[in-house]
Amino acid sequence: MLEPNNVQKTALKITSWVGSPVSIVFHTILFIISFGLSFAGYIAFDRMLLVLTTIVSLEAIYLSIFIQMTINYTTESIEEVAEDIEEIQEDVEEIQEDVDEIQEDVDELQEDVEDISEDVEEMSEEDAADEKAEEAQQKTLSDIQSDLRKLMQDIEKLQNK
């Protein structure tokens, strides 16, 4: 953030003070005292108005300068903030692009997972079919062995007779 120089700090303090309730009270008391001194006879009314008008005019001139300095400083600060916002916006856009790319990668991975799942299911089905075929082969082999035993027994019976 823009750091104000000493003159700008002074201008900021003065404009801050002028816009405060203390300033209103101070100026009101100053005007009451000025008119009170004039009515009490300590100073001529014309002279009091001349001095008061001169003081207020000088104050107005300096205040307008300080206010303009404060506006200039604030404008510079706002411009810096606007630049920061633009940079942040660019960063957000870059992050959004990265998120979009990541989402595409996730979608591709999801498709790959689905393909693998389908392959696993097919392999499981093939394995199940292979297992059924193996079971059928085992049953056939078992039946053949059983028939062979019976045949051997029959042959032994025939040989013994």
Please check whether residue 15 lies inside any domain of the structure.
yes
| Res 6: pLDDT | 86
Q: What torsion, rounded to 10 degrees, do the Cα atoms 131, 132, 138, 142 define?
A: 150
**Maximum pairwise Cα distance, the chain:** 167
**Rounded CA separation 114/106 (Å):** 12
Residue 72, Cα to own-chain centre: how many angstroms? Answer: 31
Q: Which among 82, 76, 85 is positioned nearest to 2, based on CA atoms?
A: 76
Tell me which residue range forms the domain holding 103.
Answer: 6-160
Q: What is the pTM of this model?
A: 0.52
Number of compact structural domains in the chain: 1
Residue pLDDT tens, the chain, 161 long: 668 788 888 888 888 888 889 999 999 999 999 999 999 999 999 999 999 999 999 999 999 998 998 898 889 889 999 999 999 999 999 999 888 888 888 888 888 888 888 888 888 777 777 788 788 888 887 778 877 777 787 787 777 76
Please check whether residue 1 lies inside any domain of the structure.
no
| Res 127: pLDDT | 74
**Rounded CA separation 31/28 (Å):** 5
